[in-house]
Amino acid sequence: MSFFEENKRYLTISLVLILVIGAFAGGYLFARQGYSITLSPLKVVNLNRDGAPQELNWQILWDAYDAVLEKYVDRPVDRQALLYGAVSGLVGSLNDPYTVFLTPTKSQQFAEDLKGEFSGIGAEIGLRSGILVIVSPLEGSPAEAAGLRPLDKILEINGETTEKLNIDEAVSKIRGPKGSVVELTIFRDDFVEAKKISITRDTIVVKSVSSEVKIQDGKKIGVIELTRFGEDTKSELDKAINKLLNEGVKGIVLDERSNPGGYIDTAVEVASNWVKEGEPVVYEQFGDGRKDAYKASGVPRLAGLPTVVLVNEGSASASEIVAGALRDYNLATLIGKKTFGKGSVQELLNLPDDTQIKITVAKWLTPNGKNINVEGIQPDIEVDLKQENLDAGNDPQLERALQFVSEKLK
């Protein structure tokens, strides 16, 4: 029978499934192709490493299915739930947090997340060494107001341990209607013990671009903050750049802190404001060794301006692609903290009955060939941002970036 009618390619985080509890996520390139796969009802023929055929006995699955239907104590059993559980177990065996099966409900929720408006706490989550963590809280979100920070460990959700939860399961537990409350048990490296934090869910609207002019040592420096790489980012960034250039800025600070990622096309468009047309912004490397290049296009209007890219532990996926490209071409200096390390590529494939599978198919490499997955990107100048800075309304990372750009203009 025909399984895949079309597929969608995208980039995620970061990490990471972009959730109703988090801004996107954890970004995405969509293309379309047709798929048709025919499976034997019992056996699939594979090849051993030496090329000899090997048969997989699918009768194991059917016998187990029959046993559950006939023997399980609480009958009748939900057959649809059994099917979904079997597929979830199949992809779960890959031990890849970014490869997941989406039921119709979760597929719909995922599509809503990509639109940039959703109901939740406003934070993206991911897995780091098997532990559920905050990738980044959104500016102005309930998560930020509650004091959540990148790399905070989520030990419990409403009193239930997260030890064996995958990202998809965690989303289901944290997700909820506007006005409802979720309690997270959080541990941070500088905590003496874990803390319980209650967060009231709200409608989150993600604005991807904001900008302002800062005066440093009498010089005008444009600060552009990117919170995600969404559908509206290119047009909003074009407006911001036009405004800053018209105001006569002489340098740029691109703030990608706590940006979990987004569409790969948008990442390339952002980088194209600095990278020369035709130069690779990022390479996509597949399991068979093939590498595809995503190249800059258009006029690099900011290439001649001293630039700093601000990054931190919540900068993931598309954020890392832009930061890596600008540094590889010596077009920017990176300041802040080491990035999250989400450099894998997922395809979103449509299955029957409105279900989907999100599967990792490739890795991202910077123009110089650096694999950012897991490793992340180390900044050129490391500057910490501590809780006491936030409490006092200070931003030493931004201050250092403005100072650096000002010194370049002397």
DSSP per position, 95-150: --TT-EEE-HHHHHHHHHHHTTEEEE-SEEEEEETTEEEEEEEPTTSHHHHTT--T
Please report, as a single letter, which amino acid is at residue 114.
L
Question: Do 370 and 324 meet the contact criterion of CB atoms below 8 Å apart?
Answer: yes
> Six-digit token pair at 240?
């911001």
Please report, as a single letter, which amino acid is at residue 325.
A
* E strand or H helix that includes residue 235: helix 233-246
Contact partners, residue 70, CB within 8 Å, separation at least 6? none
> Six-digit token pair at 105?
């409900």
Query: Helix 264-271 vs helix 318-328: angle between axes, to the nearest 10 degrees?
Result: 30
The helix/strand/coil state of 57 is strand
> Six-digit token pair at 326?
């600008």
**E runs forming strands in 201-339:** 202-205, 209-216, 219-226, 251-255, 280-286, 291-295, 307-311, 333-336
Residue positions annotated with a catalytic role:
317, 342, 346
